Chain A
Amino acid sequence: MSTAETSYVEPLEVRHRRESIVRMALAAATALAALPALAIVGFIVIKGAPALSWGFLTEMPVSGMTAGGIQPAIVGTLWLVGVSLLFSVPVGVLAGMYLSEYAGEGRLARMVDLAIVNLAGVPSIVHALFGLGAFVLFLDFGTSILSGGLTLGVMTLPVIITSTKAALQSVPHNFRVACWNLGATRWQTIWHVVLPNALPGILTGVILQVSRSAGETAPVLFTGAAFYLPILPTSVWDQTMALSMHVFALVTQVPNVSEELKYGTALVLVGVVLLFNSFAIGLRLYLRRNRRW
């Protein structure tokens, strides 16, 4: 820091004027960061709302996806998210437990942390390549819900791990000490004391994972999602349509789709994602407000 210019201090009124100008400029930047995106979301809501109806959500698409509903896409997304949860929740929660309760501060823990950061930063299309190479081809699951769901699961693993770790670490150390002093083992302490207290925090992470994997497109592009498949999947070995993929297809691949249908589908996807996200945020705020320690 240079200190040369501080020998002369500008008049107070100049400094105060600068202060208020800067304050306004920063407020304007904040508005610029949030308002365009908010306006666009509002626009999608307004343009998409007329398309929404019970039939839209529960009917098959017809005439080459230019009419009808989006039921198979919704159901397919549920399948994909379900499979990804079945994989990433157990693995992620146990990994979070390891980091919070067992790993300590050693070199290995550092490496795991670094791996998590990197896993979270790997581009989604690279995850798609991995899913194709590992699940579709190597393990021979084929292009299926199983392959797509597992790819999504690997991709969202860092979300669950970090939120579980944070939730467990927010339980005061004294709770553990008290429990150990009563003669409980480490695992008994975790199971009976730490975990129940951290459960809502872990749940927040799981909900965020749902929201995230429902919206992802690239990872399921080559691993499990189909453009047009007007039947409902019956097992994890089937291919399926997916909401995110459907938005992509309607906008870029299928000719003569009405604006209403495109906006309606996009609105359903945005709605699902934001609904889960708001739920997670609400839960987190509630927890923070009602924290007992």
Chain B
Amino acid sequence: MVAAPARRRPSKLTRPVEFVIEGLIRLCGLSAIVFILAIFVFIGKEGIVFLLGHIGGMLSSTDWSPTHEPPEFGLLALLAGTAWCVGLSLIVSVPIGLAAAVFLSEFASEGWREFLKVVVELLAAIPSVVWGFIGVMILNPLLQWAGAQVGLNGLNGAIVLALMTLPLLVSLGEDALRAVPESYRQAAIAMGATKWEMVWRVLLPASRRGLLVAVLLGVGRCVGETMAVLMVTGHAARIPHSLYDPVRTLTATIAAELGEAVRGGQHYQALFALGILLFFMTFVVNLIADRAVRARKIG
């Protein structure tokens, strides 16, 4: 690598212009940091006092009824709703998604792979409100036909989340497998391994960090998903006991109630407190994923 010229060459006309432009570039370069901090500050400003003041009560009650007198801000049912939908959806989507990733990366022919990757990318682009639409218009009657009293329930949410995360898992999983050097494959095959033996004994262990990152980002996506779960989970802040029970997630609660909460009131602050929790959950997930990626690069 040849280093960039350290000093600008003096050209009287371009120099002030360059100075301004390079300043702008450096400023904008930091924009991502600025906005992450800004998000934290603006959400923290409204919600942190409430969160710190009520954290004990929030984590010990299942009763979320912020408009009652006196109001209750129990989080457990909402946390359970989020965990329920995310957990159920991942049980389905992780095995299928990673299996599909293996197929795309190792077994599919070149043409099929190119084609399927485009399909997966397009499916990943479908907006979440459309997935909500699908849950309400298509899965809802299907689930009722299958015996659910109400089609809008935790199971519907889990199915929608699974369908949404599958494309992400497939493409990230495929990336992780592709990142394994070709020589690993050649060595395994040269030792007489069949393709599956090569995948099982060599590729999967070698790419496990990348696959873990794929799953983590899938979790992050599911936890933060808002519109689809708002529309399809039935919106009952109760701890679910069966597949057909309606649930409510953290995200859906904010989306549903922010419009009617009085600005600056307790309810409003409570919703921002939920936002802080969500922000931190996804922040932690992303940090772990980032560490895993870095460790993979170094090791």
Contacts and interface: CB of A to CB of B under 8 A. Distances in A.
Interface of A: 1, 15-16, 18-19, 22-23, 25-27, 29-30, 32-34, 36-38, 40-41, 43-44, 90-92, 94-95, 97-99, 101-103, 111-112, 114-119, 121-130, 132-134, 137-138, 154, 157-158, 161, 173, 176-177, 180, 183-188, 211-212, 214-218, 221-222, 244-245, 247-248, 251-252, 259, 262-263, 266, 269-270, 273-274, 277-278, 281
A274 B231 contact: no
A1 B122 contact: no
Contacts of A252: 136, 231
Interface of B: 1-2, 4-5, 8-9, 11, 14, 18, 21-22, 24-33, 35-36, 38-39, 42-43, 45-46, 95-97, 99-100, 102-104, 107-108, 116, 118-123, 125-130, 132-134, 136-138, 163, 166-167, 170, 194-197, 201, 205, 217, 220-221, 223-227, 231, 251, 254-255, 258-259, 263, 271-272, 275, 278-279, 282-283, 285-287, 289-290
Contacts of A90: 28
Contact of A103 (B29, B97, B102, B167): B29
B103 A126 contact: no
A136 B27 CA distance: 24
Contact of A130 (B29, B42, B132): B42
B14 to A, nearest CB: 7
A33 B170 contact: yes
B103 A27 contact: yes
B231 A248 contact: yes
Nearest to A94: B28
Contacts of B31: 91-92, 95, 157
A-B CB proximity, top 8 nearest: A98-B29, A123-B224, A215-B127, A29-B99, A94-B28, A133-B42, A26-B103, A115-B32
B288 to A, nearest CB: 11
Contact of B127 (A118, A244, A278): A244
A211 B120 contact: no
A18 B196 contact: yes
A15 B194 contact: yes
B138 A123 contact: no
Contacts of A92: 28, 31
The listed residue with most B CB atoms (<10 A of its CB), out of A1, A124, A248, is A248
Contact of B130 (A22, A27, A215): A215
Given A121-B283, A273-B125, 17 more contacts: A23-B107, A40-B134, A98-B28, A112-B33, A121-B224, A122-B36, A123-B251, A129-B43, A130-B39, A157-B31, A157-B35, A184-B9, A187-B18, A217-B128, A247-B130, A248-B227, A251-B136
A41 B137 CA distance: 12
B166 to A, nearest CB: 5
A118 B286 contact: yes
B125 A274 contact: yes
A30 B275 CA distance: 35
Contact of B137 (A22, A248, A263): A263
Contacts of A188: 14, 18
Nearest to B121: A281
Given A15-B197, A215-B129, A94 B8 contact: no
Contacts of B120: 33-34
Given A33-B97, A102-B26, A217-B128, A222 B121 contact: no
A29 B201 CA distance: 20
B259 A222 contact: yes
A94 B25 contact: yes
A124 to B, nearest CB: 5
Nearest to A28: B99
B9 A183 contact: yes
A277 B31 CA distance: 26
A111 B32 CA distance: 9
Contacts of A116: 32
